[in-house]
Structure 1
Amino acid sequence: MRFISAKTLKPGMVMASTVYNGNGQALIKSGVSVTNRMVQRLIQLNIQYVYIEDGLSAGIEAADSIPAKVRQDAVNKINSTFSHLEKNSVSSNLVALEQSAASFKEVIDTILNEIKGSGDLLTLLTDVFTYDSYVFHHSFNVTLYTLAIGIELGMPPKQLDMLGLGAIMHDIGKMKVPEDILMKPDKLTYEEFNEVQKHSEYGFDILRQLHNVSLLVAHCAFQHHERLDGSGYPRGLKGDEIHPFAKIIAVADVFDALTSNRVYREAMLPHEALEILYAGSGTLFDANVIQAFRKSVAIYPNGMVVVLSDGRRGIVEKQNKGLTHRPILRIIAENGEELSQPYSLDLGRSLDTTITGFDPEFESRLMEV
């Protein structure tokens, strides 16, 4: 399978990964040969990248980090819980939230088992979704990334459970922010931006009233936008004033926000988003957390066509655990020409060669499956 720009899709190309809508329903299934109408529909839906099957990438697989059913079940629970806040009284909300906390713990256990059982680096690029409800999918993704960081940092099970609950509910306060502000495609006014920032306080006020949830979970909602240098909100906390859980969730939150399509901008790719995080390492974000995250996520996912420092093109074939920036490649072009006999290159061994870019529009002569 090969990762390409949706704009380069042509009728007859075979999808290698299912495209879902926000409710988890398949829009275009894996194995389907796309038509011109399907291509236009994907572009209208702002799908930027898809996976295709072709002869060039035969045998390359990019397994889902989390099964689609597990993801959708979790998102449905988040959706049900969060939406309840918009429609019911305070007392009714608290009862519903306390009941949901127990079901969220089941979600967290499932995610932990999936991460520990797979042994692979995380990538959500294989999960192509059109996000009708960004907050719900975002909460799931942040939980996934947060728990991966926690595992990499060697946190014990009880801490992972609490960290996961803080992550899954970190944005619950956004249900108190008007949807027309959250989904506004234009630049927010000063007043609107202030209202969005209040979601941290709204979330804290909601969660601190729950009897079966630790106050620490409420502080995850309160502090996930704080930054080491004091430039965050709502209280401008610095350094050790910020709880370690909030520092972890902050990294996961920013990474997922950057790599998700939003109404006001297109998604970045993992390596681009990681560069943003590195730019704030030690000043905005905890450097140890970023390092743990880097070891957990596939910066260059399988199937991606990358550009090397010597001009060669290669498809990411496999990952090198612990060397996420130096995967194993299938070299498909050199000296400006596609090779009739591609060969393997392990960047974990070829240390004089580096990845310098990404080529989502690589045109292949070998389009047969």
Structure 2
Amino acid sequence: MRLLSLSMVRPGMRLAKKIYNEDGLTLLSEHVELSSGLIKRLGDHGVDFVYIDDPRTRDIVVLDPISDETRARAISEIRSSFRKIMEDQTKRRSVGSIKVGKVFGDVLKMILDDLGGNKDAMIMLTNISLMDNYLFQHSLNVCIYASMLGMAYGYSRDELLTLGLGALLHDVGKTQIPLELLKKKDPLTDDEFMRIKKHADFGYQFLKDEPNIPLLSAHCALQHHERIDGSGYPRGLKGSEIHDYAQWIGLVDSYDAMTTHRVYRKAMLPHQAMDIVYSGSGTLYDQGKIRLFRDRIAIYPVGVTVRLNTGETGVVVDLNSNAPQRPVVRILQDADGCELSNPTEEIDLSKHLSVMITGVNELAM
């Protein structure tokens, strides 16, 4: 399979990986042939990239770190709980009946069990979802990324449960922000931005007295927009004043926001987002955490098309865990621009240091 930007997809191409709807259920299955109408509808719904079947890369498999069952259950619970909170707050009713701690605790245990089966997995773009469920999918992505980093860092199961709950619920305060404001395409006014920023306080106030929600998880909701140089919000905390869990969540929250389609801009590719995140090392984000994140993220994910400084074009077929920025590339197009019908050459960039990636997703098949 190959990961292509939607602008490179042509009618007649077939999907190689599912696309999910706002409930976390399959919208389009593998092998579905894409028509011009389907391609347009995907674009209208904020899908920027899709995995496409290509006979030359059919042996490439991109595995999701969690199972379809876990993903569907997680998105369903996030969606139903967040919507119930929105409804209850609108009607000024108590939200205690939702039992947030129990519901999300059960979901998190499923996620951790799935991740625990592959502790060496790299953080990588694996699933494609519609933009309609941004808040729900973003909450799940941040939880998965933060939990993977927590495992790599060496946190215990209990610590991972606290970190994971904080990550899963870090944006619960956005249920108190009007949807029209969250989905606004035009630049926010100063007043509107101030309202958006209140979601951190709203989240903390909602979670701090919830049964089965650790107080540290509530502080993750409060602090995930704080930055170590004091430039964050809501309290302008600095350095160690920000809990480590909140620092992890703030880091992956920024990364996922950049690699996900938003109403006001398209998704970035992982290497683009990583460049921006890394520019904040030592100012916005802790240097040690940035280094671990850099070592655990696939900035050139399996399936992505890359151009090399040799003039050749290929697709990433494997990752080097000790050098994720230097993957293994299968050559699909030679330096003269000729397509190879039966490609056999694969270049391990960790062993050929003079060969560099100079472009990503520039050419269609």
- The TM-score range, normalised by the shorter chain, is over 0.9
Whole-Å Cα distance in 1 between the matches of residues 351 and 220 of structure 2? 41
Residue-by-residue CA offset, 1:343-368 (whole Å, 9 max, x unaligned): 011112112222222024333xxxxx
In the alignment, which residue of structure 2 is the partner of 1:123? 124
Query: How many Å apart are 1:64 and its aligned residue?
Result: 2.0
Contact 1:94 1:209 in 2 (8 A): no
Contact 2:20 2:28 in 1 (8 A): yes
Q: 1:178 to 1:322 in 2, by over 3 A?
A: same
Query: How many Å apart are 1:143 and its aligned residue?
Result: 0.3
Contact 1:300 1:316 in 2 (8 A): yes
In the alignment, which residue of structure 2 is the partner of 1:74? 74
In the alignment, which residue of structure 1 is the partner of 2:293? 293
Whole-Å Cα distance in 1 between the matches of residues 46 and 295 of structure 2? 30
The answer to which of 37-46 and 298-307 deviates more is: 37-46
In the alignment, which residue of structure 2 is the partner of 1:358? 360
Equivalent AA in structure 2 for residue 70 of structure 1? T
Whole-Å Cα distance in 1 between the matches of residues 195 and 174 of structure 2? 10
Q: 1:283 to 1:293 in 2, by over 3 A?
A: same
Secondary structure (helix, strand or coil) at the match of 1:184 reads coil
In the alignment, which residue of structure 1 is the partner of 2:179? 179
Whole-Å Cα distance in 1 between the matches of residues 332 and 49 of structure 2? 20
Whole-Å Cα distance in 2 between the matches of residues 178 and 44 of structure 1? 22
Residue-by-residue CA offset, 1:205-253 (whole Å, 9 max, x unaligned): 1111224322211110110000011000001011111111110000110
Query: How many Å apart are 1:339 and its aligned residue?
Result: 5.3
Contact 1:148 1:293 in 2 (8 A): no
Whole-Å Cα distance in 2 between the matches of residues 195 and 228 of structure 1? 23
Whole-Å Cα distance in 1 between the matches of residues 26 and 108 of structure 2? 25
Query: How many Å apart are 1:95 and its aligned residue?
Result: 4.2
Equivalent AA in structure 1 for residue 113 of structure 2? N
In the alignment, which residue of structure 2 is the partner of 1:279? 279
Contact 1:320 1:326 in 2 (8 A): yes
Secondary structure (helix, strand or coil) at the match of 1:264 reads coil
Equivalent AA in structure 2 for residue 154 of structure 1? G
Whole-Å Cα distance in 2 between the matches of residues 185 and 339 of structure 1? 40
Contact 2:300 2:327 in 1 (8 A): yes
Whole-Å Cα distance in 1 between the matches of residues 294 and 158 of structure 2? 23
Contact 1:304 1:360 in 2 (8 A): no
Equivalent AA in structure 2 for residue 165 of structure 1? L
Secondary structure (helix, strand or coil) at the match of 1:337 reads coil
Aligned pairs (5 A) from 1:206-285: 206-285=206-285
Contiguous gaps of at least 5 residues in structure 1:
364-369
Whole-Å Cα distance in 2 between the matches of residues 46 and 106 of structure 1? 30
Q: 1:260 to 1:11 in 2, by over 3 A?
A: same
Q: What is the CA RMSD across the aligned residues, in angstroms?
A: 1.8
The answer to which of 30-39 and 317-326 deviates more is: 30-39
**What's the TM-score, normalizing by structure 2?**
0.93
Q: 1:297 to 1:111 in 2, by over 3 A?
A: farther
Whole-Å Cα distance in 1 between the matches of residues 18 and 215 of structure 2? 40
In the alignment, which residue of structure 1 is the partner of 2:94? 92
Query: How many Å apart are 1:123 and its aligned residue?
Result: 2.0
Residue-by-residue CA offset, 1:266-295 (whole Å, 9 max, x unaligned): 111111111111000110011221222223
Number of equivalent positions: 360
Whole-Å Cα distance in 1 between the matches of residues 153 and 103 of structure 2? 25
Whole-Å Cα distance in 2 between the matches of residues 159 and 147 of structure 1? 10
The answer to which of 6-15 and 83-92 deviates more is: 83-92
The answer to which of 15-24 and 275-284 deviates more is: 15-24
**What's the TM-score, normalizing by structure 1?**
0.92
Q: 1:172 to 1:306 in 2, by over 3 A?
A: same
Query: How many Å apart are 1:144 and its aligned residue?
Result: 0.4
Residue-by-residue CA offset, 1:28-83 (whole Å, 9 max, x unaligned): 22112222322232233232211111233231221223223311210111122222
Secondary structure (helix, strand or coil) at the match of 1:193 reads helix
In the alignment, which residue of structure 2 is the partner of 1:135? 135
Q: 1:110 to 1:25 in 2, by over 3 A?
A: closer
Whole-Å Cα distance in 1 between the matches of residues 263 and 353 of structure 2? 40
Query: How many Å apart are 1:91 and its aligned residue?
Result: 6.9
Aligned pairs (5 A) from 1:298-313: 298-313=298-313
Whole-Å Cα distance in 2 between the matches of residues 287 and 91 of structure 1? 44
The answer to which of 290-299 and 332-341 deviates more is: 332-341
In the alignment, which residue of structure 1 is the partner of 2:9? 9
Equivalent AA in structure 1 for residue 36 of structure 2? N
Contiguous gaps of at least 5 residues in structure 2:
none
Whole-Å Cα distance in 2 between the matches of residues 219 and 360 of structure 1? 42
Whole-Å Cα distance in 1 between the matches of residues 246 and 204 of structure 2? 13
Residue-by-residue CA offset, 1:108-164 (whole Å, 9 max, x unaligned): 22222222313432323x311102121111111100000011111111111111000
Query: How many Å apart are 1:337 and its aligned residue?
Result: 2.3
Whole-Å Cα distance in 2 between the matches of residues 360 and 64 of structure 1? 25
In the alignment, which residue of structure 1 is the partner of 2:152? 152
Higher RCO, Cα 8 Å, sep 6+: 1
Whole-Å Cα distance in 1 between the matches of residues 338 and 110 of structure 2? 43
Whole-Å Cα distance in 2 between the matches of residues 172 and 81 of structure 1? 10
Whole-Å Cα distance in 1 between the matches of residues 186 and 320 of structure 2? 41
Q: 1:63 to 1:201 in 2, by over 3 A?
A: same
In the alignment, which residue of structure 1 is the partner of 2:346? 344
